[in-house]
């Protein structure tokens, strides 16, 4: 089971699904007597989901069939032996995904036409993906990280040390013999092809060739990514890498020192201290964007306005509370919204609805505690 929930997973979960969708969230205890109760809590969530499915019109047998992959996960998965702090499970017809997460989700079972995704957003925002490139002349590592996880990525076809450069280019490939003028002496000149030379200039060229090849490989791995990249290494090596870098989000800050003997977990810890302000800055910028929109008349806060705008792709930005629910109905064709004081049969959580609509149409969505909302029940900025 993968504990590294990524934005790619969110895009998959946003896709429309046939039939009804089930979303299950729960916190999990990792140690002590409480940990033995994790399966029981999940079993109770499955029973609650089954009851909701029957309310949606499914027979008990149909509800059981839909939930069968989750029951199997409960019975067979080794996740329960080494749980994360939170568990998220998603089911629909011919679809089943489960994710561990480094945060304790609220205990929730929801059934609807789309998956409930609000609880995931703080995880993806607070634990945004970033990378660490640990560089030395003897070893290269590329680490993919979130706030609490670190994984080394394979670098296929990338030299891991200058030794590989020297092996790649033989001495015969580096040195060419040229005849001098007629009757003169024969002289030898070293021509650099990426290998080592005998002088300081050639050693510097050798290092730059090594770093250029590393950069090409790293950029290939990260070609569709935009998370911050942190360099770890001595000044000579990191400065040389910056001269050839083509990745768009390379941080100016560096982890100094030779990283060869530094464990991935320590590099991850030190790098998080550098990237965390960059992630926090994104939410602050979004709040400032909302405040400017208020002054220009482009802000909205009522679900009756936000849901149709999200469905039409008119929302640029949306804040929703992560710990609240508002029940009602949304007719996208008529662009009509009914908000009910309490849940009625057939109601949907409209905060989930507006979140999915906004994400599906490319809006930036921040899910924050209710007390941290810029406005209530939602805070949005329209594109036009």
CA–CA distance, 185 with 27 (Å, rounded to integer): 81
The pLDDT of residue 125: 65
> In the chain, what are the domains?
1-116 (3.30.960.10), 130-172+205-277 (3.30.420.60), 298-384 (3.30.1330.30)
Q: What is the pTM of this model?
A: 0.67
DSSP 174: H
DSSP H helical segments within 191-325, as ranges?
A: 200-221, 235-244, 264-296, 303-311
The pLDDT of residue 190: 33
Give the tens place of pLDDT for each residue, 26-58: 999 888 778 889 999 999 999 999 999 999 999
Give the tens place of pLDDT for each residue, 122-145: 777 655 689 999 999 999 999 988
* HEC sequence for 260-284: CCCCHHHHHHHHHHHHHHHHHHHHH
Give the tens place of pLDDT for each residue, 214-268: 999 999 999 878 889 999 999 999 999 999 999 999 999 999 999 999 999 999 9
């Amino acid at each position: 089971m993968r504990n590294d929930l990524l934005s790619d997973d969110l895009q998959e979960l946003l896709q429309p699904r046939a039939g009804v969708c089930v979303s299950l969230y729960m916190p999990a205890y990792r140690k002590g007597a409480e940990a033995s109760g994790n399966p029981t809590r999940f079993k109770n969530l499955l029973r609650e989901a089954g009851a909701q499915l029957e309310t949606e019109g499914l027979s008990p047998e149909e509800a059981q069939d839909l939930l069968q992959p989750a029951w199997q996960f409960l019975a067979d998965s080794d996740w329960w032996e080494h749980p994360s702090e939170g568990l998220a499970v998603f089911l629909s017809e011919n679809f089943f995904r489960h994710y561990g997460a480094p945060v304790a989700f609220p205990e929730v079972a929801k059934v609807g036409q789309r998956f409930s995704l609000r609880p995931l957003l703080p995880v993806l925002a607070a634990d945004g993906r970033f990378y660490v490139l640990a560089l030395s002349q003897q070893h290269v590592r590329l680490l993919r990280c979130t706030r609490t996880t670190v994984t080394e990525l394979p670098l296929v076809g990338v030299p891991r040390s200058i030794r590989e450069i020297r092996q790649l280019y033989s001495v015969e490939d580096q040195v060419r013999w040229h005849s001098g003028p007629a009757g003169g002496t024969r002289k030898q000149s070293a021509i650099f092809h990426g290998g080592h030379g005998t002088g300081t200039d050639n050693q510097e060229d050798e290092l730059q060739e090594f770093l250029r090849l590393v950069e090409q490989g790293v950029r290939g791995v990260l070609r569709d990514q935009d998370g911050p990249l942190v360099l770890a290494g001595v000044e000579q090596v990191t400065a040389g890498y910056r001269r050839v870098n083509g990745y768009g989000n390379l941080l100016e800050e560096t982890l100094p020192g030779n990283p060869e003997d530094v464990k991935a977990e320590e590099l991850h810890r030190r790098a998080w201290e550098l990237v965390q302000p960059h992630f926090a800055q994104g939410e602050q910028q979004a709040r400032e964007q909302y405040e400017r929109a208020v002054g220009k008349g482009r802000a909205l806060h009522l679900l009756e306005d936000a849901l149709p705008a999200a469905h039409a792709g008119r929302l640029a930005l949306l804040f929703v509370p992560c710990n609240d629910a508002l029940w009602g109905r949304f007719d996208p064709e008529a662009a009509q919204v009914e908000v009910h004081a309490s849940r009625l049969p057939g109601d949907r959580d409209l905060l989930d609805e507006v979140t999915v609509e906004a994400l599906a149409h490319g809006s930036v969505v921040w899910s924050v505690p209710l007390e941290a909302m810029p406005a209530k029940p939602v805070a949005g900025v329209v594109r036009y």
